[in-house]
Amino acid sequence: MLRYPVYLDYSSTTPCDERVLETTLPYFTKFFGNASSRSHAFGWRADTAVEAARKSVASLIGADPKEIVFTSGSTEGCNLALRGVFEMYASKGNHIITTKTEHKAVLDTCKILQKKGAEVTFLNVSKDGIVDTEELKAAIKPETILIAVMYANNETGVVQPVKEIGAIAKQHNILFFSDATQAVGKIPVNVEQDHIDILALSAHKIYGPKGVGALYVRRRNPRVKLAAQITGGAQENNLRSGTLNVPAIVGLGRACEICRAEMPEEAARLNDLRNQLQLELLKIDESYVNGSLEHRLPQICNISFRSLSSSQLLSVLNKTLAVSSGSACTSGSLDPSFVLKAMGIEDGLARGSIRFSIGRFTNREEIDFAITEVKKAVEKLRNESFEWTLFQKGKTR
């Protein structure tokens, strides 16, 4: 039986898996020790749990546990990566290369660093949303210290040529940071094979608790050094001071274990559901998929509907469907998605885009329901749309 509204906004956040919740609960009450308290059993138990979680996170991305730094989430991770590199490698250079379609956690931080003396190159992407690696190579300077390209886009699901980008960075002795928030746990991510030096991930995108994440920081070939942004203690190898959130970290570790075990089967299932949704919605006149159809995550589908605004569609759908117009961090904006505009999507289509993102608990009945609801909403709004009437008249001339 359907529960309303049907949730199709998994890229915004995911429900905590009950298996994860069950694992975390004892660490709120029974095993409540501070992981930094090394003089008694309560602290030892907490520290053991944290280190076990560190191993689980590392295993999911092909890293060494010593390379995992726990954070409050990907936004903090992106800040620590960008600011930490800029400050630590200032004597080598001040140039950062990124793209126009990054998450705001990267873009806004880069803009702040510009005010502090950084030179930042914001690369264009193709209409498919993919970075041109030749343009990336051309942007490299002797002063370039960091390339920051997200693994997969949070609005379109487009997956970047990360391995190729990582190889370019390695060839030029430049650090490579990837915001892999949407990719980790959904598709195979391996920091060694992809030549990634720093990587951010977040628990609440993979059915773990909110408020916890991890930053991978390479220790060998090369050894990456970051300037700490939160000081006042020696936690996390002096990179991130503060009492560790043990229950949340335990939850992140368990979430990573589940993703690692179930990813192949789950990715195939989500791909089938997403394709069914896309196939039916593209039967609506003047509807278009945004982003590459070949290089993308299995769980995201971004579709534009001509002569409609996403706010109109959401206002009709919000009682029955939970979907979004793009990133949750920019959902309050009335402007067309900056990601779609950077891809060269015309404003008329960009402002009518809806992101459908499905997940572990999405089923076929919910997909069928969503198809019916979206078709009804589009038909209703277009019947009331003067813009659509004019467009139809223009087509028949």
Per-position pLDDT tens, the chain of length 397: 798 999 999 999 999 999 999 999 999 999 999 999 989 999 999 999 999 999 999 999 999 999 999 999 999 999 999 999 999 999 999 999 999 999 999 999 999 999 999 999 999 999 999 999 999 999 999 999 999 999 999 999 999 999 999 999 999 999 999 999 999 999 999 999 999 999 999 999 999 999 999 999 999 999 999 999 999 988 999 999 999 999 999 999 999 999 999 999 999 999 999 999 999 999 999 999 999 999 999 999 999 999 999 999 999 999 999 999 865 555 455 678 999 999 999 998 999 999 999 999 999 999 999 999 999 999 999 999 989 999 888 876 5
Q: What's this model's pTM, rounded to 2 decimal places?
A: 0.96
Q: 16 an active-site residue?
A: no
300: buried, middle or exposed (CB in 10 Å: 19+, 13-18, 0-12)?
buried
Question: Buried (b) or exposed (e) across 48-58, using 16+ Cβ within 10 A?
Answer: ebbeebbbbbb
Among 16, 395, 62, smallest CA distance to 205 is for 16
| Domains with residue ranges and CATH for the chain | 6-13+263-396 (3.90.1150.10), 18-258 (3.40.640.10)
The answer to whether 293 touches 279, Cβ cutoff 8 Å, is no
**How far apart (Å, rounded) are the C-alpha atoms in residues 306 and 304?**
6
C-alpha span between 226 and 298 (Å, rounded):
33
Q: Would you tell me how many other CB atoms lie within 10 Å of the CB of residue 378?
A: 27
What residue has token string 């709120």? 28
CA 34 to chain centroid? 30
| pLDDT at residue 1 in the model | 78
Which tokens go with 35? 């992981």
Taking the C-alpha atoms of residue 356 and residue 334, their distance in angstroms, rounded to an integer, is 18
pLDDT at 396: 62
- Say if residues 129 and 153 touch (Cβ distance below 8 Å): yes
Q: Point out the catalytic residue in the list 78, 256, 301, 329.
A: 329
Q: What is the distance between the alpha carbons of residues 393 and 397, in angstroms, rounded to a whole number? A: 7
